Chains A and B, each alone.
Chain A
Amino acid sequence: MGYRSLKRDRRESEWVHANITPMLNLMVILIPLLLNSAEFVRLGIIELNLPPAAVSANGQMLAELPQEEIVHLDLTVTITDRGFFISSSLAVLGGEKEGEPSISKVNGEYDFNMLSMQLYQIKQKAGYRFPDTDRIILMAEPEIDYQTVISTMDAARSLYYNGEMIELFPEVSISGGVL
């Protein structure tokens, strides 16, 4: 009878489990695959901006330049073991005392936030009066370690303020300095 058989079907299905074995097989394949291609350490690169090719003092390029000399900002940050010195073609940013770095170390640590803030102010003041307001030159003493150089580059590239990123001097060049 139709009615009876329907009732029996329902009672049997009460205890039927979903067959998850194929899905499990899929997982067993997928997880090693994804684990294999997973990137646990995120690597990045810092592209170095080499200064544009130098033109010889009496080269042809010079003839095309306007008569008045273009003043470059040539902003330079020098890392020393006492702190940062900030200088440009026009002036050197003085520290608290004569001969002190522009931004001294705080408790033996470099003050990268202060450096960003100072550079931000310089950027504001410089405006677009100079042709190279995106460029900054980095110099360091021979014993400064690599991580400090990289952190200084970060500080010079952009300022993180209240969770916002403000671009400062994205074209960082490295200078050989004095060996």
Chain B
Amino acid sequence: MAFIPSHKKRPRENPGQARLQLTSMMDMFTIILVFLLKIYSTHGQLINPSEDLTLPSSKVQQLPELGLDVTVSSDWILVNGKPVEQTQNIIEQEGYIIPRLQEELLRYSTEAEKMEILYGAEFSGKATIQGDKHLPYRLLIKVMATCGQSNFPNMRLVVYREE
């Protein structure tokens, strides 16, 4: 049997004018928009994860807070993005206190205390520690001991949140 078209081919309205078919693009955009709205966070990124380290993952649900950024990668220890000491030197070092890190932290804390007196910006002694997940415990404990001894007793460990 011959194929009977279900509807007659309609004549094009404006044969001279080409129309761009935007409907499918709109569909796509709508889906992307909904997805982005869903993962949108009002907090923004308070902590920028460093590039040369992998943070450990944890089931913790607490959201990040602002604080002095102490990063411990496999090569360097950084304070607010500024390299302070080579990690390799610290692993072999005796004792808990890392002298150069302490010096840097004390500089930040005296500055923050000055700010507190001048402008009333409260100094809470918060430090966020970003460490590579393969760091040995002895290094971690040294960094934490130094923070604690250098006016930054409120330490927070930055982790990836597992859902």
Please list the residues of chain A having a beta carbon within 8 angstroms of any beta carbon in chain B: 15, 17, 20-21, 23-24, 27, 30-31, 34-35, 37-48, 50, 79, 140-147, 149-151, 153-154, 157-158, 160, 174, 176-177, 179
A141 surroundings in chain B (CB, below 8 A): 137
A30 surroundings in chain B (CB, below 8 A): 33
Q: For the A-B complex with A30-B33, A146-B134 known, give 10 more contacts whose Cβ atoms are closer than 8 Å.
A: A24-B25, A31-B29, A39-B44, A42-B163, A43-B55, A46-B156, A147-B57, A151-B56, A151-B58, A177-B141
Query: Secondary structure at chain A's binding surface: helix, strand, loop or mixed?
Result: mixed
A145-B137 contact given A24-B22, A34-B37, A44-B61, CB 8 Å threshold: yes
Please list the residues of chain B having a beta carbon within 8 angstroms of any beta carbon in chain A: 13, 19, 22-23, 25-26, 29-30, 32-33, 36-37, 39-41, 43-45, 47, 49, 55-65, 96, 128, 131-138, 140-141, 144-145, 148, 153-161, 163
Number of residue pairs spanning A and B whose beta carbons lie under 8 angstroms apart: 144
A44-B137 contact given A37-B44, A176-B145, CB 8 Å threshold: no
Give min CB distance, A139 to chain B, whole Å. Answer: 9
Instruction: Provide the bound-state CA to CA distance between A44 and B46, in Å.
Output: 11
The CB with the most chain B CB atoms within 10 A, among A21, A43, A142, A179, is that of A43
A31 touching B64 by the CB < 8 A rule?
Answer: no
> Which of B36, B59, B60, B135 is within 8 Å of A34, CB to CB?
B36
B43 surroundings in chain A (CB, below 8 A): 39
The CB with the most chain B CB atoms within 10 A, among A24, A39, A50, A147, is that of A147
